[in-house]
């Protein structure tokens, strides 16, 4: 199966509505406190941008790559970017900050 057609690639992701998060950002890095789990997370620039976007609307992997590509000049839509974004979403999912859903 082509990577782009795998089920995980087609997932849509949204902010976990069970979460209430507080942000503290400095320069390009952010600390996110999840009041629902009492856990604190460090997010780099892309992680913070992804979570911020997901707070407002849902994304699939392709849409998030496109967003990063328009937001950051150095971000290109190649296989490495795909791996990075999939890992990023997986990490945010593991932290309970986002969730997959189907429309």
Residues that bind other proteins (CB under 8 A): 22, 24-27, 29-31, 33, 35, 38-40, 42
> CB 6 → other proteins: shortest distance, Å?
34
Q: What is the CA angle 77-88-56, rounded to 5?
A: 90
Count of positions (residues) in the chain: 103
> CB 38 → other proteins: shortest distance, Å?
5
CA gap 8, 52 in Å, rounded: 21
Helices 45-56 and 61-71: crossing angle, nearest 10°? 120
CA gap 31, 40 in Å, rounded: 7
Give the number of other Cβ atoms within 10 Å of residue 2's Cβ.
6
> CB 39 → other proteins: shortest distance, Å?
8
> CB 31 → other proteins: shortest distance, Å?
5
């Amino acid at each position: 199966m082509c990577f782009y057609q795998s089920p995980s690639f087609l997932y849509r992701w949204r902010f976990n509505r069970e979460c209430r998060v507080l942000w503290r950002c400095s320069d390009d890095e952010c600390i996110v406190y999840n009041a629902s789990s009492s856990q604190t997370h460090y997010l780099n620039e892309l992680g913070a941008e992804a979570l911020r976007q997901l707070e407002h609307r849902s994304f699939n992997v392709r849409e998030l790559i496109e967003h990063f590509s328009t937001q950051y000049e150095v971000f290109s839509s190649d296989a490495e970017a795909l791996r990075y974004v999939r890992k990023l979403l997986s990490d945010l999912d593991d932290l309970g900050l986002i969730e997959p859903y189907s429309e």
